Structure 1
Amino acid sequence: MSSTLKFLDLFAGAGGLSEGFIRAGFKPIAHVEADASACFTLKTRQAFHWLKNNNSIDKYSKYLKNEITRQELYDAIPSNEIDSIINEVIGPDTLKSIFKKVDAQLGNSKLDLIIGGPPCQAYSLVGRSRSNMVNDPRNHLYIYYAEFLKKYKPKYFVFENVLGLLTATDSNSELYFDKMKALFVEIGYTIEYRIFSANEYGVLQNRKRIILVGKRGLRSKKSFYPEPEKWLPQANVWDLLKDLPPIPAGGGQTTPVEPITKPSEWLEQAQICSSLPLTWHEARPHSKQDLEIYQHVVNLWNTEKRRLHYDDLPEYLKSHKGRNSFVDRFKVVAGDLTACHTVVAHISKDGHHYIHPDIEQNRSLTPREAARIQSFPDDYYFENVSGKPARTSAFKQIGNAVPVLLAQKIAEQLLKDW
């Protein structure tokens, strides 16, 4: 199959889903994303791909080393590559503007595929438990997704979201998922969906997501769903951590660092390690109390293979008022397991749920470690609007992403079945 199949990424985030499809051989026409920082991440990644494909990757390396500015990096590639990143909120007031920009990128070409999934907070079980999401406008973003399908009529679309989508209801107790499927069928698509666990496809993370695939045309008896081949590597979480320099809480740097050992076999097979500079290995600082709690958490796992319940802590360390909720708020990313627990955007708030398994380092994960859990390659750089590195923004983008490896596996199978 030709590698010129073109796709549009809606609600693109930092580009995890897109990166997987690019690796498989699809070509992005445009990315649409509301978050300005994520859009700069996408622009920088667009620059990476263009420079790599045009034998000028040294320019990207210079950028990671702070030898050239971000603007100088962008000036090194055609302007339409940067313009293909569309920083817009998708909604009724912006559709015409976004269509116009996508049309400019498409030219006379046909769009083959649309990928992406609306923000998941309104569908997530955690989100619903924390606040009333029934009237959240994000519940209805699938309607605008359908507008893109109606206009461009791609052969396929790939729609990703959290499992909570299956049970989220509107004010009339109707399932959003049922309404969504009915709309997609109404505009001419046959729908199939699966629930995926990322750890079954090479990702060292227990992350479950629903991925709905639509194919334009009438339903046939034969399933068209691109069933990817499973990959269960002989690896554990230490394989994505052990080659990184040990650093304490508050230590490390966003600028390039050198690995201290040869990369693990998993890092190589998953195409995570890179010959380009490795960035974002910077740990957040923690209070003395939190560091003492982290010691308890890691020691309990190391000695008893048991997770810490908040009530297990000595009384003088229990400063949280709510002792009967979120009792697992402190959690180690166990290095001896084949997959860690799910990385989510809350990692941008604090690192209590993502404690490094090395008790000597005694800290939470760095953005690079979290990015590896999400199977982002080491040459992926996470931007901020200001141009100055912002750890909170990087964590948010990483936590909201689709694991690159999972996306790649689905994309490869879709390409085979095309």
Structure 2
Amino acid sequence: MRTYNFLDLFAGAGGLSEGFIRAGFNPIAHVDADEAACYTIKTRMAYKWLKSINAEEVYFQYLSGEISRTEFYSYIPPGIISSVIHKEITTETLQFVFEKVDLFLENKKLDLIIGGPPCQAYSIAGRSRDKNRMVGDKRNYLYILYAEFLKRYNPKYFVFENVLGLISAKDFDGISHFEKMKNLFQQCGYSLEFKVLNANDYGVLQNRKRLILVGKLGNYEGFYPNLIKEKKVGTVAEVFGDLPPIKAGGGSARLSETTEYFGEYLLASKIKSKNKERTTLHWARPNKEHDLEIYKLAVKLWNKKKARLSYADIPDRLKTQKNTSSFLDRYKVVAADLPFSQTVVAHISKDGHYYIHPDLRQNRSITPREAARLQTFPDDYYFESVSGKPARTTAYKQIGNAVPVLLAEKIAHALLEGW
């Protein structure tokens, strides 16, 4: 069977790419403007190569701090590391990126392009915070550059992912960016079909809706990947249950071992591959004391009444905000007994108030590893920083911006079935 080659644009930390690789697609290159995210993908590609030659121990030496990132990369063929292109895609850099991609293609056919531009300019939350409602933001027009890749490489398919706000975001002239985008992609020769998918319908224990647009070169109808919805197979408690219990400020960025296997979901979703597993970034924030008091109130209320804590009901001595009439759900427990969590977003890098751990004894916000598990990243996936030293905030941001790996894999398998 032929292996299909893909290019990942606006790749982020590689959640979408990881799913397509699992389904059997071959990555030619990844492109992203975020340097830390590029290091994350470089490290992931390095690990996959080491695993292919049964040399994973070098990876774990790096994760344990025995060797530096520079030393770690020295074990890897240079082409694997350099195929991750750290470059903002602009009119000025387009030719540079083309030349890099051409180099890695080596005259092979590019079958697929995946990825979606940064979503902040399209998101409803982003528009509500911006005085111009993101009108004129340059990120609104990155789809025009995306189309340049379609024109150059003419892949059979492309998969474009973004937030639901893209559908309603409007340009200066009042016409939606989504309509302009679809018109442009059609001018490039593609038939288009799109759906709003909720990751929770496809095995991800997270209520996360995303717009998934699929393009197919030529004139077609009814080609959208046939994704089959799944029955719920686990609870949030199972996602966290085998990780060592830690307090606020506790844990380790370096390698630690999970406890005895807890529940079937972790294996079914490929977060874990065996009973015990070494993992990283199970490393909790040092939350402030008054926040920890509020966390206790939130967890107790959920456990007793299955109710969410309203900011208006917090004792006055613990309040730090004067606004008690809006944004009342500032503190929210990741409920252990539900088959889904709230959406993990990049704001988790700012604070953990919306992601309180459900175990009252631990009394903290969730760790990067727990957030990554909600996004179905495997435990051996490491999130890098620019410096090479562990950075919790940077990891949270990459995790929150990612596409859940399991959803990406389901899309990839369904795409293959109709290829």
Return the TM-score normalized by structure 1.
0.98
The 1-side partners of 2:247 and 2:29 are apart by 40
- 8 A contact 2:116–2:160 mirrored in 1: yes
Alignment partner, residue 294 of structure 2: 293
Alignment partner, residue 75 of structure 1: 74
The 2-side partners of 1:53 and 1:348 are apart by 33
Show structure 2 runs of 5+ residues with no match: none
1:5-24 deviation line (CA, Å, top 9, x unaligned): 10000000000000000000
SS at structure 1 position matched to 2:325: coil
Alignment partner, residue 309 of structure 2: 308
CA shift for structure 1 position 200 = 0.8
1:303-354 deviation line (CA, Å, top 9, x unaligned): 1100111101111112113322321111000000000010000000000000
Alignment of 1:276-291 (within 5 A): 277-291=278-292
Identify the range of structure 1 (337-346 vs 230-239) with the bigger mean alpha-carbon deviation.
230-239
1:249-289 deviation line (CA, Å, top 9, x unaligned): 00000011121221421000111114652110000011111
Show structure 1 runs of 5+ residues with no match: none
- 8 A contact 2:200–2:340 mirrored in 1: yes
- 8 A contact 1:233–1:266 mirrored in 2: no
Amino acid at match of 1:171: F
Amino acid at match of 1:68: I
Alignment of 1:6-405 (within 5 A): 6-131=5-130, 132=132, 133-220=134-221, 223-274=222-273, 277-405=278-406
The 1-side partners of 2:15 and 2:326 are apart by 32
The 1-side partners of 2:322 and 2:16 are apart by 39
The 2-side partners of 1:377 and 1:263 are apart by 15
The 1-side partners of 2:330 and 2:124 are apart by 17
- 8 A contact 2:123–2:166 mirrored in 1: yes
Return the TM-score normalized by structure 2.
0.97
The 1-side partners of 2:5 and 2:322 are apart by 52
SS at structure 2 position matched to 1:111: coil
1:84-114 deviation line (CA, Å, top 9, x unaligned): 0000001101000100111110011110000
Amino acid at match of 1:72: E
Percent of aligned positions with the same letter in both sequences? 61
SS at structure 2 position matched to 1:336: coil
SS at structure 1 position matched to 2:149: helix
The 1-side partners of 2:150 and 2:273 are apart by 36
- 8 A contact 1:199–1:232 mirrored in 2: no
The 2-side partners of 1:347 and 1:283 are apart by 12
Over aligned residues, Cα RMSD in angstroms?
Answer: 1.0
SS at structure 1 position matched to 2:378: coil
- 8 A contact 1:19–1:408 mirrored in 2: yes
